[in-house]
Structure formats: C-alpha cells, structure tokens
Amino acid sequence: MGILTDYLIAAIGLMSIFDLLCTLRWIGVNPYMEANPLMRCLWFVDPVLFVFIKIAITFAFCLTTYKLKDNGLLKRLIWLPFYTYVFVVFVHCI
C-alpha cells in the first residue's frame, strides 16, 4: 500500500497543477469559473498571489501527506482528494 499511496499523492499534486492551468485558461474570460469562493476572491485581489497560493497549498498538501503516508487513517482517506480531483479534471475536460 505504501507505493500506491506515493502514486496517489503524486497524482493529486499533478491533477492540482492541471486544475490550475485549466483555471488560468478560463478565469480570464469569466472570473466566476473558479469554484472555490476563497480562491475566487484571491483572484480578484491579485492573480499572481492566486497562482502562488494554489501552488503553495498543493506543495504543502503533498509534503504533509507524504510525511504521514504510513498513517492508517490517511491510507483510507487519501482516496477522497484523489477522486475529487479526478472529478475536477473530468469537468475541465468536458
């Protein structure tokens, strides 16, 4: 399960970056395309800060989950952000 958890963490990180790229592609046309209301507000305040915070959150998530990858609860719950990002990527590709 350890190597699978590593792959899931990496996949979540990559899907998060893909989400950022897709968001940047469409957010210029319609700022309300950002589904997260906090990040949407951040976009209105400063787009560069929006990108920086998105990357920092992704990095912090991946680093934290990697350090806790042997935790039993994390092994069960890692599927939640994974499937959430699978759904987000699916929505972006439609």
pLDDT in tens, 41-82: 999 999 999 999 999 999 999 999 999 999 999 989 999 999
* CA dihedral angle for residue 7, residue 13, residue 59, residue 16, rounded to 10 degrees: -170
| pLDDT for residue 59 | 97
What is the rounded CA–CA span in Å between residue 5 and residue 67?
Answer: 11
| pLDDT for residue 26 | 85
Q: Which of 27, 39, 25, 35 is nearest to 87 (CA)?
A: 35
Query: In the structure encoding, which two tokens stand for residue 24, read together?
Result: 């940047």
34: left (phi over 0), alpha (psi -120 to 50) or beta: beta
